[in-house]
Amino acid sequence: MIIERADVIVTSPDRNFVTLRLETSDGHVGLGDATVNGRELAVVSYLRDHVVQLLIGRDASRIEDTWQFLYRSAYWRRGPITMAAIAAVDMALWDIKGKAAGLPVYQLLGGASRTGLLAYGHASGRDNEELFDSVRKHQAEGYKAIRIQAAVPGLTSIYGIASNATFEANKGARYDHEPAQRGAFPAEEDWDTRSYLRHIPTVFEAVRNEFGPEIPLLHDGHHRMTPIQAASLGKSLEPFDLFWLEDLTPAENPEALRLVRQHTTTPLAIGEIFNTVWDYQQIIREQLIDYVRGAVTHMGGISHLKKTLEYAAQYQIKSGMHGPTDISPVGMAAAMHLGLSIHNFGIQEYMKHGAATDSVFEQSFTWADGMLHPGDEPGLGVALNLDEAGRYPYEQAYLPYNRLADGTVHDW
Ligand code: CS2
Ligand code: MG
């Protein structure tokens, strides 16, 4: 099972995706997701210019050895670009191993630990009425757990909220900048943490009054608070029994969560921009979080995220893998196989991809009654339609950024 061919495919059906496609001497094809939202071509270069030639002629069955070789031989370790490139190779090799064995990848990882994966979707609205519509739309699509993001009075545009046109088009199932906005410069939004902290508890109170106590509710703070502000938010949301509060403080200082923990029992999730187990080491050991947000795509692949989650399991910390649409269908499939097999699965984020994306990536996962299942096709269960992929060339796109009222650039 020798790797004979390695191609990096960039396609932009609803958004940009970077996919590594490996072919072996015995005819197996393996796919890996290497998409880093807004910085896609950096990973393309890392793979095409530095990795592909190292793969040709290697034994495709040696997944762990290939991971260690790519990680340790580069000298420059960690970081989103390196770890997404390694992730793509790792995913593609698991895909090939599954195909060679005639088994879905979750069987190679130990088999199913559950019947399906509880998934959450993203509801948003400019006011409570719109937000309720968006929650109802998600419930009608089967979602049993829902992330709640709301506009803040006085702020004209904030991330995660659908504006007029977007809301009308999809009842809040997609928001502005989802997918990232195509163009040569990022859009600018505004931000004010004090207004946000005043407003958000009123939104959760209204949602609980409307939808009752049972539905698991989540919220994302997008790294915008100081530790004491984050502590205050966690405390003020305690009466509304959140499933988790995500990314409250900037990820560079994970020990900031110590202070948040001292003040609130609201469960905490972090790590969608983390790349290795070392980013998590301290906050797992000190039990400063409840959910690991890392994506297979950004955490060095199935092999490395599995190790991270097994370390987390020793501390009763569960998975909450990142799953917005910038995780490609290949990355989502990898998350589903891993999530199905580990003991400490928590929840899976799931934003549906668009029709064009689904035509490029033929998928075999199922979505029923609020639960995902990767299916039983050998490997990851995703096929890349190269003709369709070729119809959607790369287009530059950026996530937005935000400024305070006085013009200061704020945290993402
Ligand atoms: C978000 C993402 O899904 C989430 O929790 O934080 O939408 C995030 O903004 C994008 O994935 C950025 O690439
Ligand atoms: Mg997030």
Q: Separation of 292 CA from ligand 2 center, angstroms?
A: 11
How high is the mean pLDDT of the chain? 96
- Identify the residue whose tokens are 């959607």: 392
pLDDT for position 170 = 75
pLDDT tens profile 283-310: 999 999 999 999 999 999 999 999 999 9
Q: Separation of 382 CA from ligand 2 center, angstroms?
A: 25
Other CB atoms within a 10 A radius of the CB of residue 148 amount to 25
Q: What is the best residue among 40, 220, 246 to mutate for testing ligand 1's pocket, by most ligand atoms within 8 Å of CB?
A: 220
Alpha helix ranges (H) inside 342-411: 355-360, 386-390
pLDDT tens profile 31-80: 999 999 999 999 999 999 999 999 999 999 999 999 999 999 999 999 99
Confidence at 311, pLDDT banded by 50, 70, 90:
very high
Residue 211 has pLDDT above 90, yes or no: yes
Ligand 1 atom nearest 325 alpha carbon:
11
Q: How far is CA 228 from CA 139, 184, 252, 254, 344, in A?
A: 34, 36, 16, 14, 30
pLDDT tens profile 367-392: 999 999 999 999 999 999 999 999 99
pLDDT tens profile 141-158: 999 999 999 999 999 888
Residue 163 has pLDDT above 80, yes or no: no
Torsion-angle region of 291 (φ positive above 0: left; ψ -120 to 50: alpha; else: beta): beta
Rounded to whole angstroms, the Cα distance separating 250 from 117 reads 29
- For atom 12 of ligand 1, the residue with the nearest CA is 37
pLDDT for position 175 = 82
Answer yes or no: is the C-beta of 272 below 6 A from any ligand 1 atom.
Answer: yes
For 3-103, CATH number out of 3.90.1720.10, 3.30.200.20, 3.40.50.300, 3.30.390.10 equals 3.30.390.10
pLDDT for position 359 = 98
Answer yes or no: is the C-beta of 399 below 6 A from any ligand 1 atom.
Answer: yes
- For atom 13 of ligand 1, the residue with the nearest CA is 37
Answer yes or no: is the C-beta of 326 below 6 A from any ligand 1 atom.
Answer: yes
Residue 247 has pLDDT above 80, yes or no: yes
Task: Give exposure, 280-309, as e/b (b: 16+ Cβ within 10 Å).
Answer: beebbeeebbbbbbbbbbbbbbbbbbbebb
- For atom 6 of ligand 1, the residue with the nearest CA is 222
Q: Separation of 292 CA from ligand 1 center, angstroms?
A: 14
Q: What percent of the chain has pLDDT over 90?
A: 93
Rounded to whole angstroms, the Cα distance separating 326 from 260 reads 29
Q: Separation of 398 CA from ligand 1 center, angstroms?
A: 12
Q: Separation of 121 CA from ligand 2 center, angstroms?
A: 12
Q: Separation of 15 CA from ligand 1 center, angstroms?
A: 14
pLDDT for position 49 = 98
Residue 335 has pLDDT above 80, yes or no: yes
* Residue 204 · residue 217 · CB < 8 Å: yes
pLDDT tens profile 229-246: 999 999 999 999 999 999
Confidence at 120, pLDDT banded by 50, 70, 90:
very high
Task: Place domain 117-377 in its CATH homologous superfamily.
Answer: Enolase-like C-terminal domain (3.20.20.120)
Find the mean pLDDT for residues 350-362.
Answer: 97
pLDDT for position 172 = 74
- For atom 2 of ligand 1, the residue with the nearest CA is 324
SS3 360: helix
pLDDT tens profile 85-108: 999 999 999 999 999 999 999 999
Task: Give exposure, 85-120, as e/b (b: 16+ Cβ within 10 Å).
Answer: bbbbbbbbbbbbbbbbeebbbbbbbeeeeeebbbbb
pLDDT for position 347 = 99
**Stated pTM of the model:** 0.97
Answer yes or no: is the C-beta of 37 below 6 A from any ligand 1 atom.
Answer: yes
Ligand 1 atom nearest 351 alpha carbon:
3
Nearest ligand to the C-alpha atom of residue 246: 2
Answer yes or no: is the C-beta of 95 below 6 A from any ligand 1 atom.
Answer: no
pLDDT for position 411 = 95
Answer yes or no: is the C-beta of 176 below 6 A from any ligand 1 atom.
Answer: no
Q: How far is CA 367 from CA 143, 296, 336, in A?
A: 10, 20, 11
Nearest ligand to the C-alpha atom of residue 327: 1
Max Cα-Cα span within the chain: 62
> Is residue 298 among the annotated active site residues?
no
Find the mean pLDDT for residues 331-336.
Answer: 99
pLDDT for position 362 = 98
Instruction: Delimit the domains of the chain by residue range.
Output: 3-103, 117-377
- For atom 1 of ligand 1, the residue with the nearest CA is 324
Q: What is the CA radius of gyration of the chain?
A: 21
Nearest ligand to the C-alpha atom of residue 412: 1
Answer yes or no: is the C-beta of 324 below 6 A from any ligand 1 atom.
Answer: yes
pLDDT for position 390 = 98
- For atom 7 of ligand 1, the residue with the nearest CA is 324
pLDDT for position 159 = 87
pLDDT for position 160 = 85
Answer yes or no: is the C-beta of 216 below 6 A from any ligand 1 atom.
Answer: no
* Selected catalytic residue, list 159, 175, 196, 392: 159
pLDDT for position 394 = 98
Residue 22 has pLDDT above 90, yes or no: yes
* Selected catalytic residue, list 222, 298, 322, 353: 222
> Is residue 177 among the annotated active site residues?
no
Residue 167 has pLDDT above 80, yes or no: no
